[in-house]
Structure 1
Amino acid sequence: MSEGSAAQGRIARRASLVALGTLGSRILGAARDAVIAASFATAVTDLFWLAFTIPNAFRVLLGEGAVSGAFVPVYVEAREKEGVERARRVLGQIAGGLLFLLTILVVLGIAFAEELVTVYGSGLRERPEDFAVAVELTRAVFPYVLLAGLAALATGALNASGRFGWPAFAPAFLNIALIAAPFVFVDFVEGLGYPAIFALVVGTLLGGVLQLGVQLPPAKKLGLPIAPRFERPDPYTRKAFKLLLPLLAALGVYQLNVALSRTIASHQASAISYLYYGQRLVEIPQGMFAMAIATAALPSISEAVARGDRDAAKTLFRSGLRMALFVSLPSSALLIALGTPSVAVLFGRGAFGETAIVETGRSLVAQAAGIWAVASIRTVVPLFHALNDTRTPVVASGLNLVVFGATAFLLFPLYGHVGLACAITAAAAVQLAGLLLLLRHRVGPLGFRSLVRPVGSMLVAAVGAGAAMAFVASFGDWRAGGNVPTNLGLFVLAALVGGGVYVGLAYALGVDELRALLAAVKRKLGRR
């Protein structure tokens, strides 16, 4: 059996659950957007999404940063070194500290809602009625931060205990609640004297309750005390919150990156939309696969580090990185070869005309070229977190911001929104290089020589698949959009051909990740 085969199988099984949950959430998210768009005027929904910006940013931080970066490794370390009982006490104290901090955050968010709306929507000052509604929406929706934080802690605790099912599907409940909100809660909020858009606030808060609630029974069954404990903090608890501080800085870096890209893009008509729609498509493989693999690998890596077995941790890291590249390289190939066709099929109708299809397709191709880098970053960062190092990833994020800003200012005057998309890809590649250099300095040689052949095989398979997809897609009339029946058929055919070519070449070239995946499917079918 090749190096890390057992680890690959374990990570693949866990990642498949997380990916399935993410896929369900993405599908429901698309349905949510469609329902909300059909139920409320765009001018009104803009106010809600503006109000939801800050709480959602903290949700992302807690779900993808704070819990995975600070709490899970410390909980695993306490469990491995001190035993289950002390680890449970630490978890309860973390819940208590998190509840305290989030309560303060919610109070501050409500108190300074007017200032927040001014920062993120300064143009609303010219429309006093809209500004007032946005402020009230911000105050009403801010308590979601508290629910999302505790739900993220439950997710982390369950993942650290080897349970990935309910945590993977919990985020979908927010989308379910928001889908139901326009049908169920409009009369309720209007009866209280609020505008109909406040139904989405009720849906958001209900979604937060459901996200947390569905994870409590499995947590209780495992004896995980998500209930807060307010007592003298254990040294492990203090360590967890010390690790949290740099992750708060990461939120600031992320917000600066978002603000910078929007500011630059606003100087070209429709550039923000071209980038946004392209990014939505790129986020599908990034969210489904990259985050799934990182989530699945972190507990095992943390356990190895807690045991002092760095060689095992590096083996697990290489296995996760190989798995990330195995899915991200063909994802890049698909969205590069089928960039314009993807946009045409999904968005090309109504007001989304030929120009929008072509320009969004160009943006998508440039961003898709960096999927492998983002997937790799999300695999590297958990190893830093397992080493109780949350500062280095933040420094690397700052490097990303600097490179993006410099590259964007250089390329935007020449290539417009495509230059911005290229800057996003370049910044991710430089960030990855920086992380790998710093990681090697921290833990020694990473054993990347063993990756040359398998990753080279994956790249050959991905290029072959991309060429096959591009050939099939060349017969389509993509500028005509998604309403042309033959376009949809050609798109599906191209994707199937590309998938078949990738699997065939990967199998012929002996890619272990494919063999592990096929073996897992065979075992699953054999049990039925």
Structure 2
Amino acid sequence: MGILPPMADTPPSTSSGEIVRRAGLVATGTLTSRMLGAVRDAVVAAVFAIGATDAFWLAFTIPNALRALLGEGAVSAAFVPVFTEVREREGKEPAKTFYRHLIGTMSIVLLVVSVLGVLLAPWIVKLYAWGFQRDPALFDMTVALARLLFPYIFLMGVSALLMAALYASKRFAAPAFAPALLNVALIAAAFLLVPTVERFGWPGIFALALGALIGGGLQVLFQLPALAKEDLVVTPRFDFDDPYVRKCGRLMVPLLAGLGVYQLNLLLSRLFASFLPTGSVSYLYYGARLAEIPQGMFALAIASAALPSLSDAVAHRDEDEAKRLFRYALRLSLFVAVPACVALTVLAEPTITVFFGRGRYEATEIQETVRSFVWQAGGIWAVASVRTIIPMFHAHNDTRTPVIASALNLVTFVALSFALMGPMQHAGLAAATTAAAVVQLIALLWLLRRRSGRLGLREVGRSLARVATASLVMGVVVASMARLGEWHLGGNHPRNLGVYAATVVVGALAYLGVARALSAPELGDLRAALRRRVRA
């Protein structure tokens, strides 16, 4: 871009173990958030009627999509490389000034987006819940919920900026654990705020919207102490003329476009589901949330932990080191994503039963959720790989190339959705999502090969062969143990809870045992990470 002076060519000294330690911390925080999210979804499914949950999850679609864009990639991917360059080449104070200007500028943008969302809610909801207009009461409820939820965008955008600053400073604990507060707030709202909102004449489901706003505020406050330790609690100032703010904006726009394709797929999926029988939106949502537990816990954790090191390597013009770190991150991601894919596919019915089989969520709802969850779980490995590959482009300040792969994802998803949603209903939408992720993965690998030359993927292939072997053995073990359950008795039955817990533990031990027998190096890396103190 010509903004920054040249750097010294001294290579960075980031070790693979450091990435594992960081990823372990991020994964622990993400696991906490995802598990609380699963508890939240189970509580919502048990407490509220299926029609009300359809309205809430659709109303939450736009704010939650922007949360995913900002909190799970866009801001960090654009900010970290620029902040790292400025800090390394000009010093901490210029980097801090850039950060102050970026927060001020982004806050204005986020505020405008939130206000427009509140004002334009009826038209926005029509775009992705067109089918709900067949039921005016359901449509009006969705619009009212959306208006309450749009201010969440501002809170999440600010939280994402704080996360990005902490990631760039290689502090991972606070941003890793902050998202869990949203789920805590929603769970508390479901139990504590329903009587209050009903006294005001609102449907009980509105308690969740209030809980989301409370959770967003808590996430911002939770990160301030960690920022203070890095001297990054700043007074925001609007300055779009700052060249680094402009550079960050130029990086972020195509990045949002690329990541936005995934969210557009989600919006289209909800739109298509709104034309299907009542409950389809919730079936897809609950299944996707469970599939996202390993995706977010491992793939996102590894990608977030690797990006600062990849950025360091690229900033020091050490392409070989960047490729080595990329291969390492991809191997580590597949080491945990492939067995998760196999286990959740084989245990689809037991998993849905244990998490949702209680309260108002009855046998019919469980079976319908299983139909789509099988396809969603089957795509975990592809989504995890995509999330691990994309930071390699971002580290090079290349946020445009991934948009090409994302566009192929979108085209594939739309075409297959039209073909499959008729005969397969909501399960067809889940199958289309997984197939589109595989197409995106293939495109990304091809584009990265063109950009960076040979990637040394034979090393990844050998690792994948070991992982696949261990996963198949584990799959046979968990399938055999799952037969001991009486899943038609529901998720609260003691036998089912015991069988499921034992199956998960024995399956994990079987996978790790075979991986050890095959001398999988990733196992040693993970074990070593547990013995080291992680800088929080």
Per the normalisation by structure 2, the TM-score is 0.87
Residue in 1 that maps onto 2:97: 89
> Is the 1:8–1:513 Cα contact (8 Å) retained in structure 2?
no
The whole-number CA distance in structure 1 between the counterparts of 2:48 and 2:497 is: 30
- Show the 5 A alignment for 1:11-160: 11-33=19-41, 46-122=54-130, 134-160=142-168
Are residue 163 (structure 1) and residue 171 (structure 2) matched? yes
- Does residue 1:205 correspond to 2:248, yes or no? no
Alignment map for 1:270-281 (pairs within 5 Å): 272-281=281-290
**Counterpart position of 2:497:** 488
User: Percent same amino acid at aligned positions?
Assistant: 54
Contact 1:69 1:382 in 2 (8 A): yes
Q: SS of the residue aligned with 2:155? A: helix
Q: Deviations over 1:11-38 (max 9, x none)?
A: 2211121122122222333443455566
Report if aligned partners of 2:46, 2:358 keep a CA contact under 8 Å in 1. no
> Aligned partners of 2:311 and 2:533: how far apart in 1?
28
The one-character-per-residue Cα deviations of 1:383-434 (angstroms, maximum 9, x if unpaired) are 1111111122222111111122333444455555544433322211110010
Checking the alignment, whether the CA contact within 8 Å between 1:349 and 1:482 is kept in structure 2 is: yes
CA contact (8 A) 1:141 1:201 kept: yes
Q: Does the CA contact (< 8 Å) of 2:57 and 2:281 recur in 1?
A: no
Find the counterpart in structure 2 of residue 363 from structure 1. 372
State the secondary structure of the residue aligned to 2:314.
helix
SS state at 1:214 partner: helix
- 2:4 aligns with none
Q: What residue is the counterpart of 1:515 in the other structure?
A: 524
Paired position in structure 2 for 1:214:
222
The 3-state SS of whatever aligns with 2:519 is coil
AA partner of residue 211 (structure 1): Q
Is contact 1:80–1:303 with CA below 8 Å preserved after alignment?
no
Which residue of structure 2 lines up, in the alignment, with residue 434 of structure 1? Answer: 443
Runs of 5+ consecutive residues of structure 2 not aligned to the other structure: 1-11
Give how far 1:163 is off: 0.5
Query: How far apart in 2 are the matches of 1:110 and 1:506?
Result: 52
C-alpha contact 2:76 2:163 (8 A) present in aligned 1: no
**Following the alignment from structure 1 to structure 2, what is the Cα–Cα distance between the partners of residues 229 and 177?**
30
Q: How does 1:166-315 map to 2 (within 5 A)?
A: 166-181=174-189, 199-231=207-239, 233-250=241-258, 253-265=261-273, 269=277, 272-315=281-324
1:456 aligns with 2:465: yes
Aligned CA distance change for structure 1 residues 249 and 519 (closer, same or farther; 3 Å): closer
Aligned position for 1:397: 406
Cα shift at 1:359 = 5.0
Change (3 A) 1:197 1:341: closer
Identify if the C-alpha distance between structure 1 residues 355 and 191 changes in structure 2 by more than 3 Å, giving closer, same or farther.
Answer: closer
In structure 2, relative to structure 1, the CA distance for the partners of 1:452 and 1:191 (3 Å cut) is closer
Aligned counterparts of 1:392 and 1:512: Cα–Cα separation in 2: 32
Alpha-carbon distance in structure 2 between the residues aligned to 1:274 and 1:202: 23
* Shift in Å, 1:485: 3.8
SS of the residue 1:79 aligns to: helix
- For residues 58 and 376 of structure 2, the distance between their equivalents in structure 1, rounded to whole angstroms, comes to 25
The residue type equivalent to 2:30 in the other structure is: T
Q: Bigger CA drift: 48-57 or 20-29? A: 48-57
Structure 2 Cα separation of the partners of residues 42 and 249 of structure 1: 33
Question: Bigger CA drift: 411-420 or 434-443?
Answer: 411-420
C-alpha contact (below 8 Å) 2:189/2:208 kept by paired residues = yes
Q: Which has the higher contact order (CA 8 A, sep 6+)?
A: 2
Distance, in Å, in 1 between the alignment partners of 2:19 and 2:120 is: 43
The letter of the residue matching 1:365 is V
CA deviation vs aligned residue, 1:49-74 (integer Å, no higher than 9, x gap) = 44433222211111123212211221
Separation in 1, partners of 2:450, 2:291:
31
* C-alpha separation in 1, matches of 2:141 and 2:413: 35
Q: Report the CA distance shift for 1:135/1:492 in structure 2 as closer, same or farther (over 3 A).
A: closer
CA contact (8 A) 2:76 2:167 kept: no
Q: Distance in 2 between matches of 1:314 and 1:462?
A: 26
Taking the aligned partners of 1:79 and 1:33, their CA distance within structure 2 comes to 42
Code of the residue aligned with 2:97 in structure 1: it is R
Q: Number of matched residues? A: 522
Q: How far apart, in 1, do the equivalents of 2:439 and 2:396 lie?
A: 22
Q: 1:324 to 1:359 in 2, by over 3 A?
A: same
* Selected match of 1:329 from 332, 338, 352: 338
1:92 positional shift: 1.2
Counterparts in 2 of 1:75 and 1:297: CA distance versus 1, 3 Å: same
